[in-house]
A and B are shown apart, each in its own frame.
Chain A
Amino acid sequence: MRKVLVVAVREYIAAVKSKAFVITLVLMPVLMSLGIVAETFIKEKVDLNPKRLAVVDHSGVLYDDLVSEARRRNTEDIFAMDENSGLASDKQVLPEFHLERVDPAGLDRDELLLKLSDRVRAGALFAFAEIGRDALDPPADGSDANLIYYSNTPTYREMWRWLRDSVTRVVQQWRFTEAGLDRQKVVWALQPTEVEQFSLFARDESTGAIAAEKVDEMATFVVPVIMLMLMFVVIMIGSTPLIQSVLEEKSQRIAEVLLSSLTPFQWMMGKLVGMVGVSFTIVVVYMTGALIVADRYDAMQLVPFHLLGWFYAYQTLAVLMFGAVFVAVGAACTDHREAQSAIMPVMIVIVLPMMLWVNVAREPGTTFSTLVSLFPPATPMLMLVRQAVPPGIPVWQPALGIALVLLTTLLCVFAAGRIFRVGILMQGKGAGFRDVVRWIARG
């Protein structure tokens, strides 16, 4: 047992000192916050030069109203919202839109559009739009588009969106008037019904009070996502480096020296225990960070303290389970290229929960969700998600899940031990699938 610890300590120090670890541990949060900073920074770097939009109004009646829409926007909608008062500040964050009327009368349409396109290319215009003749009262079959937007910058959506909304508004207003309706009344009549979501009513055992809790969107979705992501990161950082380290021990011929002091199984267990230590380091750092953030934003009540025990259990077993598989892969291969293709199937299994979790979180109670979360390689992530979604699941399910994962982990460690014992001294050619199966079977 002491030898296992000696190896574990060495593995731990080697892993924690490695550049890759420091990068993931320190740089990931740094990059995330950089992303937030960059986003606000980039927001301020918007091009605020006024943009010219030429409008060819075939309907003949919409242009003037559109101009007043633009004028209203240029005075009201292009400024940053003050966070405290909720009123617009005088800090401009969007460019002004200036409109220009183009009279199509007596001109060939194609020639006109070509001329406008050339002006866009020359930079005199930002874009131009064509309002259809029947825009006010389109034919029922919807055969013609009533608004066409031409630009050389198809990814700039701001003007496109404004044009669509404004034309819609102007057209609606025209139709209300035409039908003799009061716009205010119509809006009032079409007002949607708001929904608030509550959990089921329950009696509090200590106080005797009967109450239901208001469902918090944050708690129901964000918390499971964060736990899932953290578990995924921990598994990846905690288990994948083992391929690299076993390959190094093979290529640097360290294996034989170590095997003169301890058994292959002690050695492998030492490596696995070391990586469990590494994974806990990551979790402690990230969870501390998450708690600081939660405390700052008054979100402590969202922190699922009751799930932490489960989290650590899943995490330990997952690192052991996948770690053992990666040790085996490293021992059976001789170079990185071989290892790359050999880990593909394992990676797919690890990533699988990332593709299923949305469905599982939405409907944690279905048979499908229950079954996939009992599939041992997926249990640490998917069972955790189901537990994190209120109101949780019957406790026998995570208990069974843990039992199955434990069993799988023992199998993986046992098989990996046998593969490791033979593979670690093997040089030259990597082992085929059949060799590996034979090693496991024969021992």
Chain B
Amino acid sequence: MNAVELINVTKRFGTFAAVDNLTLSVPAATVYGFIGPNGSGKTTTLRMIMRIIYPNGGTIRVLGEDVIGQGAASDRVGYLPEERGLYRKMKVRDLIRFHAELKSLRHSKGDAQRWLERMGLGDWGDKKIDALSKGMSQKVQFICTVIAKPELIILDEPFTGLDPVNASLFIEVIQELRRSGATIILSTHDMSVAERMCDHLFMIFKGNKVLDGTLEEIQSAYGMDTLRVKIDLNGRQLEAVPGVAGVADFGRYQELRVEQGVDTQAVLRHLMDLGKVRHFEHAHPSLHDIFVRIAGPEAKEAAHA
């Protein structure tokens, strides 16, 4: 059973195809990661799933309902948009109740209090949104998203602006929601979060699907082509090592992409000649590396242009 299915969906703004013939399916009760560079069509896709905008062609099914031709957004779906906003003059509790009622949930008082306490805002229910810090209002917005017990929860960049403590809290809460049976689609720019949290990953680039699968499936498609090393050198010299196709210098360590079928032991010997090797690891490419390999050239071109 799939929570969301997109079949050959296209969305054009004028002549520009923001989403081009996209097909994907989100299995129920999973955490589904949506990645892709800025402007690649992520938010457009999420908005189409939310029925905020309509596609020019294709089929979208959400929780078994055909989205096209349906008027209202579904009460069974919760959405935390990337652009967050709350009525600033309302009290936290009133605002949460307002959002619950918009999803046709009448009696939400007890749930609201439980959520406020779970998010560490137990004493803030009677404060106005005005009085809240940015992190707090983000938590309130999250509560508004999940208060009506949606079966599908769409979170667009839920972690931006959160400190590590609050980010961990969000991650915990999202896992709890999944255990209780909800399907979660989350878009993020943080590849390490995506690697750690998502059962399924999906990457969209220039309106097209470029990755789709579990982390293991994606990584094994790229093979063991990465050497993670720690050596007292700068990255430039590493590029000259035979068999090395690319270098990503992170400062404290470097990732080398090696050519297909290269002898990694030979590379190690070469490195040892160059300087003191403190760490050497033969691995799958990280999600970050895969992302940069796909979107990087474009991004670099854009930066130089």
Contacts and interface: CB of A to CB of B under 8 A. Distances in A.
Interface string B91-104: 00000001101111
B129 to A, nearest CB: 10
B237 to A, nearest CB: 46
Nearest to A254: B85
Contact of B52 (A2, A260, A266): A260
A253 interface: yes
A170 B103 CA distance: 86
B50 A260 contact: yes
B79 A257 contact: yes
A7 B81 CA distance: 20
Interface stretch (B70-78, B177-185, B190-198, B242-250): B70-78
Interface in A238-260: 249, 252-260
B134 interface: no
B83 interface: yes
Grouping DSSP codes into helix (H, G, I), strand (E, B) and loop, the B interface class, with mixed when no group exceeds half, is: loop
Contacts of A259: 50, 52, 73
Given A3-B104, A259-B73, A261-B103, A252 B79 contact: no
B71 to A, nearest CB: 5
A257 B75 contact: no
A260 B77 contact: yes
Contact of B73 (A6, A14, A17, A262): A262
Grouping DSSP codes into helix (H, G, I), strand (E, B) and loop, the A interface class, with mixed when no group exceeds half, is: helix
Contact of B102 (A14, A17, A252, A258): A258
Interface in A103-158: none
A10 B86 CA distance: 13
A253 B73 contact: no
A136 B47 CA distance: 92
Contacts of B53: 425
A263 interface: yes
B102 A3 contact: yes
A260 B147 CA distance: 14
Interface in B89-136: 89-90, 98-99, 101-104
B84 interface: yes
A425 B54 CA distance: 14
A252 B52 contact: no
B88 A261 contact: no
B189 to A, nearest CB: 19
Contacts of B78: 260
A256 B52 contact: yes
B102 A262 contact: yes
Interface of B: 47, 50, 52-53, 71-73, 75, 77-81, 83-90, 98-99, 101-104, 141, 144
22 contacts: A2-B101, A2-B104, A6-B98, A6-B102, A14-B90, A249-B85, A252-B86, A252-B87, A252-B88, A253-B81, A256-B47, A256-B52, A256-B79, A257-B79, A257-B80, A257-B85, A258-B102, A260-B78, A262-B72, A262-B73, A263-B72, A425-B52
